[in-house]
Amino acid sequence: MKQDSLVIVRGGGDLGSGVVLRLACAGYRVVVLEAERPTVVRRKVSFAQAVFDGRASVEGLSSISTTLPELETASIRPGLWNPDDGKGQPVPVVVDPEGRSLDILSPDAVVDARMAKRNLGTDIDDAPLTIGLGPGFEAGRDVDLVIETNRGHRLGRVIRAGSAEPDTGIPGAVLGVSEKRIVRSPASGTFRSTRRIGDLVKAGDKLGEAGGEAVLARTDGVIRGLISDGVELREGQKTGDIDPRGSVIDPATVSDKALAVAGGVLEALLSRGFLPGR
């Protein structure tokens, strides 16, 4: 058994942030590693947004952009947060796509939540316990354990041998709407938005521009996610997310999918004896 475990989560997008939120609520110390210009879409529920804004908050839990030297000089008590009163230290977010922090911080567990659909370099020996989210990892070879991320009967299950279900490339349907709820860039170039997350839109409404061309909604609904201004996009890249359920959806709350995946990570940690600090 290891108490007061330190967990590094590689990727602060919506799924990774759901993991961070659930682990912090349980009393784990958590550090997030991110890219220099994160391409997260669901920014209201992504700790990665701290890279752009200095700070970010997800359901009352704050994160703060910091550097590895700053983190080393601190007492490294990240993630110790009381969900009942909202008090505690913010989760550190470090720009470190290469993972240099792993050798320096010596975490008890590493969770690869970058959702690249392939292994970007995570190794089973990166920490005493390594966990991969979704396809691209094989339990027992690339990482110790894999968490299923595909919606359906297996969502959130801990895989101890083998891999998660392969990526279908087809977004999950919401009210019968699948691919059209995803906003994609019509051209390569810098994104500039004209609408905000939470706005209600109709199919054909302009959401911004990329490469001099209009980025359009393809279905009616609420803007659940929209990539940050200034991000360089490639043609066809996911730029936003429209939820056809409309105003009944709060874009600032973690999704059921993210919480299910986070529950799988929590099970994985506890089953291997990595305990929180409280």
Provide the CATH number for the domain formed by 6-167+255-271 in this structure.
3.40.50
- Whether 32 shows a pLDDT value over 90: the answer reads yes
- Whether 10 shows a pLDDT value over 80: the answer reads yes
Annotated domain spans of the chain: 6-167+255-271, 179-244
Q: How confident is the model at residue 159 (pLDDT cuts 50, 70, 90)?
A: very high
What pLDDT does 278 receive?
65
Q: How confident is the model at residue 1 (pLDDT cuts 50, 70, 90)?
A: confident
Global confidence as pTM: 0.93
**pLDDT per residue over 69-91, tens digit each?**
888 776 555 555 666 666 678 89
Instruction: Give the Cα separation of 250 and 19 in Å (integer).
Output: 19
**pLDDT per residue over 166-216, tens digit each?**
988 888 888 899 999 999 999 999 999 999 999 999 999 999 999 999 999
Distances (CA, A) of 78 to 95, 109, 112, 207: 16, 14, 18, 36
**Assigned fold of 179-244:** OB fold (Dihydrolipoamide Acetyltransferase, E2P) (2.40.50)
- Whether 110 shows a pLDDT value over 60: the answer reads yes
3-state secondary structure the chain: CECCCEEEEECCCHHHHHHHHHHHHHCCEEEEEECCCCCCCCHHHCHHHHHHHCEEEECCEEEEEECHHHHHHCCCCCCCEECCCCEECCEEEEECCCCCHHHHHCCCEEEECCCCCCCCCCCCCCCCEEEEECCCCEECCCECEEECCCCCCCCCCEECCEECCCCCCCCCCECCECHHHEEECCCCEEEEECCCCCCEECCCCEEEEECCEEEECCCCEEEEEECCCCCEECCCCEEEEEECCHHHCCCCCCCHHHHHHHHHHHHHHHHCCECCCC
What pLDDT does 109 receive?
98
The amino acid present at 25, given as its one-letter code, is C
- Edge-to-edge strand ranges of the sheet holding 232-233: 213-216, 206-210, 189-193, 232-233
Q: Do domains 6-167+255-271 and 179-244 have the same CATH topology?
A: no
